[in-house]
Amino acid sequence: MLGSDFPIRVQSMTTIDTMDTEGSVQQSIRMIKSGSELVRITAPSVKEAQNLDNIRKELRERGYDTPLVADIHFTPNAAELAARIVEKVRINPGNYADKKRFQHIDYTDETYQDELARIKERFLPLVKLCKENGTAMRIGTNHGSLSDRILSRYGDTPLGMVESALEFLRICEDEGFYDIVISMKSSNPQVMVQAYRLLVQRLDEEGLKPYPLHLGVTEAGEGEDGRIKSAMGIGTLLEDGLGDTVRVSLTEEPEFEAPVARSLIDRYTNRASLSSPIAEIKKNPIDPYSYKRRETIEVSNFGETNVPRVIADFSQTGVKSVDDLKAIGHFYLPATDKWAMNDLGADYIYSGAKPVQFMLPNGLKEIQDFDIWSKAEDQKNKVPFLSTSQYLDKGEVHPSLNIVSVKADNLSEDLFNALANSSKTVVQLSTSNAHAMAEMRRFFIELVNKSIKIPVILSSHYTNISESDFQLYSATDCGALLIDGFGDGITLSFDHNLSNETRKVVNSTSFGILQAARTRITKTEYISCPSCGRTLFDLQETTAMIRKRTDHLKGVKIGIMGCIVNGPGEMADADYGYVGIGKDKISLYRGQNVVKRSVHSDNAVDELIELIKEDGNWIEPSKVEDALVA
């Protein structure tokens, strides 16, 4: 059971060929044992839909009654067959009744209504079958596979995503069929969040039922990046109180997905009893359906048009040697007596009461506690960190940058008056409330309502959790704020960053959150699907191979898709695409346009690199290394 007061459910999707009955059963069992409460299986044609019956019977005979979901693209016949076999059918309104030709079509109101009538005729048999057989349906919009009709009418927007689903939903309601789940997936967490929020608003405005929502960031990728991107999208919506079923889409074995989804969900189990009340918002100036960065003044290199800055916390351990800075992207080279910095080089270190005893590289500044800074010989090149009371007492003590520690529940007029009259101050905002994101967002709203344009650093600290949960929680708490346009810097700590290995994870996570929020691009981005029974090559191995050859191309986005279903549409944000079209056959894309077809997989990565070179976007790895040292 989904929705209402039922628990949020976890689901995942098989990656093996659906025609491999035993393999599908074994993989499904592994997924179920890892926590998957729904198992989705692709049915790209009628023969796969037929074999769902064999998979279902075998699972039931082995004592597993987990509901099965048939994943349908392009083939209504397969959907209609699957509706008689499994508990749920997922259809994509972008390609269920439409074929993608990447054409812009000028519709009149009359011709558009004709298109809706055509869709109804195509879709109605499935609706009736689901109603007759007690089969649930997910109407699953994907940002990357909107139909030409929707793109022509509404554009490549969250509104287009919502309308794509509502056109099908209205047909269901007209037939009195309500066993429906809706999803609004995108590989861009920002677009995904806006679309879900807008969907909820539109359902309410039209008087439609508040259907359960399935949450997921599609093509999230692998490892740290996949977890951060998923947590940012899914976690933000869970914070909003939205979501009834969750899938974390990772380019990994499917049994690894459910534990990540469960960690995101379980965080909210006892939160209400642990939280403090948050002051009521009487005026919300933020548009939740579009992105606009909060307007700020520039203070040193914070705020205005500057990218968010990363502050590494060394306050617990201090910086003992130059080697400690390797974890935050700064490398001392004794042979040349020079410093090098990689793309994940932190901008500041917070040394607290343990000042650094050697000269830092030019690209790194030190923040010291006010009591230490006030006694330092070089106050100009060090940055003071003041408590709220010190700031209210002494004001701005540094001529260019003062960082003030503020708790998010401090909504005193004295503090806001001081901030309103400051021009060289940056707030470092933190909270001890279990509802961390909500309380911090409340503080930002007060700043906007009072027209206070001081830059703000997001500060979150975590203890006694796993490394994976640290990535998930920080990506939710800070990522949700960045998606709403809040935040000019970030500082994280995890178990007090007591080892350089932990500090490296924290630093990488900080930059990963900024990258996923599209606020600071520091590395190559990979938009890779999680694989399924349609996949035409080893997606994990290929993704690793492409990453190895291209991970130095800062800011370049590469889509890696297992089949044409997850092809140009699903990688809508990508600069380049690598898409399986047959056994050992790859098509290469520039944006959404195919430029090389049927390239043999043995040569496809080399051909991809040649394509990047043709566009002038290739840099030799050796030159990147030289630039870092220079």
Second-level CATH architecture of 9-271: Alpha-Beta Barrel (3.20)
Q: How far apart are CA 92 and CA 142, in angstroms?
A: 7
Percent of the chain with pLDDT strictly greater than 90: 72
pLDDT digit string, tens, across residues 456-491: 999 999 999 999 999 999 999 999 999 999 999 999
Could you write out the DSSP letters of every residue in 559-623?
EEESSGGGSTTTTTT-SEEEEEEETTEEEEEETTEEEEEEEEHHHHHHHHHHHHHHTT----HHH
Out of 37-51, 77-91, 389-403, 532-546, which region has the weakest mean confidence (pLDDT)?
532-546
pLDDT digit string, tens, across residues 360-391: 998 899 999 999 999 999 899 999 999 999 99
Residue spans of alpha helices (H) in 89-182:
109-133, 148-154, 158-174
**Cβ neighbours of residue 237 closer than 8 Å, sequence gap 6 or more:** 193, 196, 197, 213, 215, 243
pLDDT digit string, tens, across residues 237-296: 999 999 999 999 988 899 999 999 999 999 998 887 778 899 999 999 999 999 999 999
Hey, how many other C-beta atoms are within 10 angstroms of the C-beta on 398? 18
Q: What is the pLDDT of residue 629?
A: 44
Q: What is the pLDDT of residue 570?
A: 60
Give the chain's length. 630
pLDDT digit string, tens, across residues 63-121: 999 999 999 988 999 999 999 999 999 999 999 988 777 678 889 999 999 999 999 99
Q: What is the pLDDT of residue 628?
A: 44
Give the model's confidence band at 529: pLDDT under 50 very low, under 70 low, under 90 confident, else very high: low
- Whether 9-271 shares its CATH topology with 309-516 is answered yes
pLDDT digit string, tens, across residues 157-216: 999 999 999 999 999 999 999 999 999 999 899 999 999 999 999 999 999 999 999 999
Q: What is the pLDDT of residue 565?
A: 59
Arithmetic mean of pLDDT, 35-56: 97
Q: What is the pLDDT of residue 541?
A: 78
- Write out the H or E segment, with its range, that includes residue 330: strand 330-333
Mapping DSSP to helix (H, G, I), strand (E, B) and coil, where does residue 557 land? strand
CATH number of 309-516: 3.20.20
Q: Is the pLDDT of residue 537 over 70?
A: no
Strand pairing of 88-91 and 136-142?
parallel
Q: Is the pLDDT of residue 627 over 50?
A: no
Q: How far apart are CA 36 and CA 67, in angstroms?
A: 10
Token pair in block for residue 485: 């346009």
Q: How far apart are CA 339 and CA 362, in angstroms?
A: 9
Give residue limits of the domains in the chain: 9-271, 309-516, 525-629
Which amino acid type is present at position 271? R
Q: How far apart are CA 444 and CA 438, in angstroms?
A: 10
Arithmetic mean of pLDDT, 615-623: 80
Give the model's confidence band at 306: pLDDT under 50 very low, under 70 low, under 90 confident, else very high: very high
Among the four given CATH numbers 3.90.550.10, 3.40.50.11540, 3.30.413.10, 2.30.40.10, the one describing domain 525-629: 3.30.413.10
Q: What is the pLDDT of residue 73?
A: 85
Beta bridge partners of 599: 586
Distance of alpha carbon 469 from the chain centroid = 15
Q: Is the pLDDT of residue 330 over 50?
A: yes
Token pair in block for residue 456: 């703000």
Distance of alpha carbon 560 from the chain centroid = 17
Token pair in block for residue 40: 């989705």
pTM exceeds cut of 0.75: yes
DSSP label at residue 295:
P
Cα R_g (the chain), whole angstroms: 26
